[in-house]
Structure 1
Amino acid sequence: MLMTLSLRLRVFLFFVFLALAGIVVTSGALYVGYRRSLGGDTGLGSAFLFSAILSGFGLSALAAGVWLLFDENVAKPIERIAASMRTRAHAGVSLDLDTHAARYLGDLAPAAAAVSTQLSQSTLDTAEAVAAETARLASEKERLTALLTEIPVAMVLISPTHQIVLYDGQAASVLGQIHPPRLNASIFEYLREDELRAAHAKLIEKDEEIPFTAHGSEGQLSFDARLKPLGHAPGYMLLIDDAHAEISPEAARPLIYDFDLMEHDSERAIEERAIQSLTYVVFDTETTGLLPHKDEIVQIGAVRVVNGRIVPGEEINQLVNPGMPIPPASTKVHHVTNAMVADAPLIDTAASDFHKFAGGAVIVAHNAPFDMAFLKRHGKRLGLAWDHPIIDTVLLSAVLFGASETHTLDALCDRLGVTIPPHLRHTALGDAQATAEVLCKMIPMLKSRGYVTFGEVIRQTRKHGRLLEDLN
């Protein structure tokens, strides 16, 4: 039980024990002296009693002073060194260790810095080799994308659990007529489930290409399609012929895929699933003010993270007409003017679009209660159930770096080597992108601490819930 407590808490409890033990010993000794003095002058007994009380307070004050010094010069520096080493080891951030803050720890900080530097150099050498191979694969991907664009067939690769694993630019054009295409989204969000399941059952039975008529999940469109098996590989391919679908020929969207999604077990309860395997929608809002009960959203920005990586192109950058003037003080912060939102959709449309975009995902934000308060207020009126699992990067920062550190988005970006271009700071998409990059760096750090599943991470963040209460 004691080993599960943080280092600083264990040190504090040690000094509490030291203080209590000192009080007991001193009081006991003085009590014996008091009993022996009962046979003599009563004034002597009173002196013994006063001495006991005074010594108790004195020992407590001494213990408190020693603990403060120990906490500031030993426990905190050790926590900072540990967090810095984990950041360098698991988030790929080469930041210098603060050796001055750990000056009372002897050679620990310089030794840790030397080890980290050596590991960083080894990692750099490996990264250079990986970068060269990645460049070659990226070139091949570009050629493959160009080739597929010329083929008049839209393609979607689907996992055995009916999640989207790959889609090309032409498929994005087709699916986009229903909902924005998203990796790891259920294909049933786009096509009628009964029709697709029936065709899939025939595919399994016959193990050959199955033609069928597909209809949009909400009746938006219909087209002829084919399901094709992948041989001995899991999953199947959905093909949509150009002749039967309105596919925009100028769709230049690249091939989007993540073959690791084929191996995901999406049927397990979310609390039991690995944090690496979850799909996250990281978002931020800009508003007319800081009062969620009466101010309004003027901009929503969001990106998607799948398999611990930001998915390029899957994002929202939406201005919102707040239905009220934007105060000049707010415009000065986020640079959104009344003219910019004059023709933008109202929150009814923007919130509904974002709700679809976040379907089946864990919602992530920096100080999430603030942003979610706006959405939940309108959700009651629009019939949108914001019942998604939610993770707050403020609390993740407290888990990894300690509650006593600074947990602003700027501080977290500095700590993890994430750069927010000045012109994107305090824009919804810019802050969402930065928060997503921070999340991607923190996921392996959480795993290194032994917090592997979503349930384990949530249990750790609940220990720091007071941080959000103070922020809001």
Structure 2
Amino acid sequence: MFSLRTRVFLFFCLIAVSGLAILWGALWLGVSRNPDDLSGAIVLAGISGSFALIALTVAAWLLFDEIVVKPIQRLAASMRARAHTGVDVEVDTYSARFLGDLAPAVHAVSRRISDSAMETARAVTSETSRLAEEKARLTALLTEIPVATILANAAHQIVLYDGQAAEVLAQGGVPRLNAPLFDYFDEDSLRVGLDRMNKTGLEQKFELKGLDDGLVFEAVLKPLDEGDYMLLIEGQTMHTSPNVARPLVYDFELLGKRPTGDLATTPLRSLVYTVFDTETTGLLPHKDEIVQIGAVRIVNGRIVAGEEINQLVNPGIPIPASTTQVHGVSDRMVQDAPDIVHAAGRFHHFARNSVIVAHNAPFDMAFLRRHAEKCGLVWDHPILDTVLLSAVLFGANETHTLDALCTRLKIEIPEMHRHTALGDATATAQALVQMLPMLEGCGMRSFGEVIEETRRHGRLLQDMN
């Protein structure tokens, strides 16, 4: 068993010996073919030797790429995933077998990181349990109070809403953290109360109108520090069990944040992502139709529990039996479902002011854009594709299907959820959450830097489609 240095030395010795053999072989060929013409012999030797040297160079490059470059890329990707996501990734020691002790050393470091992570996890488990118990008590307390509670920052974006508020917000669309209150309530009526509150510095009682005609709420505004405020809507009670509804959704990090104008320079974790997937009647966007839309949201680098869309869509055409076998959606299931106009409109509202993310986004977006005019929608959202992110982080030569990506990142998709719109959207979102710190670890901290890097791998999407 040779050492790594010996292997590298022998590799270059092989190149040197092969080069000399080509040189003398070319000279012999030239002289043997033109024994009486020295210039002709030299020309023939030069031509044949040049082609042979090119072939040697290509062979050496292919061999070096296979036994050195690709294994190093795989080791680097494994270590990056382990360092930035906490995923216990198996180190591919077999593909790196020609790199001497590098793969075992990487494996040892990875094991040590895993052990340290386990020790840290045990240390915080008890504190996490205590916080969970406190949240449960707070949730139970808020559920008994017949007041819908919404906390908003100075930019009028939702920071917290309870179960009662979720039912109020749902009358204007799917509730969303970080969404402007004006997406759910009449802006003029809300600003009347806000102006009075800001002038007096005191809480204000006022009539708050919904977006639908005739929808009016008795509301109270309470000022907080730095322009933040509470919006309380009286007389609201839960119509569903607190164990079924999401009783309390919040992210207090949003209190200090303000919208930025330049998307390209916005840090990755400051962006809101809407991750979605569709199931369709077939694979041809110009003639097939959507039968299901699933979507989840990511705020501050975390998936927001409960903020999701799981919408069946009536395609208006029969669903082939072979397609039903893949995603499980049948004609009977969608016969009373809304059409694409309603479903696309709901998703469009859900994705407002966010980056749309999908695995192979051109495929899913083609279905939505085909009906854009009929739906009265403009799909001008910034888009991020996890296929390209996978290529950036793990190398273009790897497999970049959703299953392959989830296998690398140790993400399990329950069999019953695979090839369902919400199941695949959730898996894609989990992958994105893990890839964001990996991208930052590679020096890509802003949205513009990531987009610039993904453009180098655009060919992958063309090949997939």
TM-score, length basis structure 2:
0.90
* Aligned counterpart, 1:264: 257
**Matches for 1:15-414 after TM superposition, within 5 Å:** 43-219=37-213, 221-230=215-224, 232=225, 234-242=227-235, 247-250=237-240, 252=242, 253-414=246-407
The answer on whether the counterparts of 1:298 and 1:320 sit within 8 Å (CA) in structure 2 is: yes
For 1:12, the equivalent position in structure 2 comes to none
Per-residue CA deviation, residues 178-229 of structure 1 (Å, 9 max, x unaligned), is 1221101111111222332343233233221122221123546111212111
Give CA-to-partner distance per residue, 1:368-417, whole Å, 9 cap, x none. 11111111011122211011111111001001000000000000000000
CA contact (8 A) 1:170 1:251 kept: no
**3-state SS of the aligned residue for 2:148?**
strand
The change in CA–CA distance for 1:220 and 1:404 in structure 2 (over 3 A counts) is: farther
Provide the residue aligned with 1:419 in structure 2: 412
> Match of 1:270, SS?
coil
Aligned AA (1:422): E
After superposition, give the CA deviation of every residue in 1:51-70 in whole Å (9 maximum; x if it has no partner): 11112111111111111111
Residue of structure 2 in register with 1:444 after alignment: 437
Question: For residue 346 of structure 1, what is the amino acid of its counterpart?
Answer: D
Q: Which amino acid aligns with 1:238?
A: L
Query: Secondary structure, in 3 states, of the residue corresponding to 2:371?
Result: helix
Aligned length: 438
Say if 1:177 and 1:220, in contact at 8 Å, map to a contact too. no
Structure 1 residue 347, shift from structure 2 partner: 1.1
CA drift of 1:249 comes to 4.3
Deviations 1:18-51 (A, max 9, x none): 99xx9xxx9xxx9xxx9xxxxxx98111111111
Question: What is residue 462 of structure 1 aligned with on the other side?
Answer: 455
Verify the 8 A CA contact 2:158 2:179 in the aligned structure 1.
yes
After superposition, the C-alpha distances for 1:55-104 in whole angstroms (9 at most, x for unaligned) are: 21111111111111110000111110000001111111102201111111
Structure 1: gaps of 5 or more residues: 1-14, 35-40
Matched residue SS, 2:37:
helix
Residue 264 of structure 2 aligns to a residue in which SS? helix
Partner-residue secondary structure (3-state), 2:78: helix
Q: Deviations over 1:420-450 (max 9, x none)?
A: 0011111111111111111111111111111
Write the distance in 1 (CA, Å) between the matches of 2:214 and 2:267.
Answer: 35
* TM-score normalised by the chain length of structure 1: 0.89
Q: In structure 2, how many angstroms separate the alpha carbons of the residues matched to 1:51 and 1:197?
A: 87
Structure-2 separation of matches of 1:414 and 1:383: 39
Identity %: 60
Question: Counterpart in 2 of 1:11?
Answer: none
1:144-195 CA distances to partner (integer Å, 9 max, x unpaired)? 0110111121110001111101000011111111122110111111122233
Q: Which amino acid aligns with 1:461?
A: T
Q: Is the 8 A contact 2:143 2:238 kept in 1?
A: no
Match of residue 9 from structure 2: none
Q: Partner of 1:6 in structure 2?
A: none
Shift of 1:331: 0.7
Distance 1:435 1:84, change over 3 A: same
Residue aligning to 1:37? none
In 1, distance between residues paired with 2:73 and 2:450? 19
> For the residues of structure 1 that align with 2:221 and 2:315, how far apart are their CA atoms?
44
Is the contact made by 1:366 and 1:392 (CA closer than 8 Å) also made in structure 2? yes
Q: Distance in 2 between matches of 1:267 and 1:193?
A: 21
Q: CA deviation at 1:452?
A: 0.6
Contact 1:400 1:446 in 2 (8 A): yes
Please give the alpha-carbon distance, in whole angstroms, between the structure 2 residues aligned to 1:133 and 1:266.
Answer: 33
Instruction: Please tell me whether the aligned partners of residues 166 and 183 of structure 1 are also in contact (alpha carbons under 8 angstroms).
Output: yes
Offset at 1:365? 0.7
Letter in 2 for 1:408: T
d(CA) in 2 for partners of 1:106, 1:265: 51
